[in-house]
């Protein structure tokens, strides 16, 4: 069993043991995911670029918890929708490689639609 599958199973068991499946609809999980993402962003609000890259240990520990919360809800959401996250990520990376060919976009933050990528 892959590590992600192990986490997915552990999260299913966690929710089932607490009778939380009734609350874990795709809608609710997506909403919870956004709440956790907002909590992550809050830690970086008003920081400079430099400060955001050198968080003190206590702040970094809080950010770590928020990232874990986001990953948990993302795994649960994908599981509820029958999405294979590893396959979806691989497919998305391949798509991004086509949309953002390195030789055309290197060093630019522009959106793919601003480049002539032959597609």
Using pLDDT thresholds of 50, 70 and 90, give the confidence band for residue 1.
Answer: low
Of the chain, the percentage scoring pLDDT greater than 70 comes to 96
Neighbours of 29 (CB within 10 A): 21
The whole-model pTM stands at 0.88
Name the pLDDT band for 33 (thresholds 50, 70, 90).
Answer: very high
- CA triplet 94, 88, 35: central angle to 5 degrees? 120
Domains of the chain with bracketed CATH: 3-83 (1.10.287.1080), 84-119 (no CATH)
pLDDT above 70: residue 81:
yes
Which distant-in-sequence residues (6+ apart) come within 8 Å of 108 by Cβ?
none
């Amino acid at each position: 069993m892959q590590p992600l599958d192990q986490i997915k199973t552990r999260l299913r068991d966690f929710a089932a043991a607490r009778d939380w499946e009734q609350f874990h609809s795709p809608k609710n999980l997506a909403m919870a995911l956004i709440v956790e993402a907002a909590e992550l962003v809050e830690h970086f609000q008003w920081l400079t670029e430099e400060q955001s890259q050198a968080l003190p240990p206590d702040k970094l520990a809080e950010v770590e918890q928020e990232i874990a919360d986001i990953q948990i809800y993302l795994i649960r959401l994908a599981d509820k929708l029958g999405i294979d996250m590893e396959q979806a990520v691989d497919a998305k990376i391949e798509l991004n490689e086509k949309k953002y060919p390195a030789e055309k976009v290197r060093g630019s933050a522009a959106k793919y639609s601003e480049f002539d990528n032959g597609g």
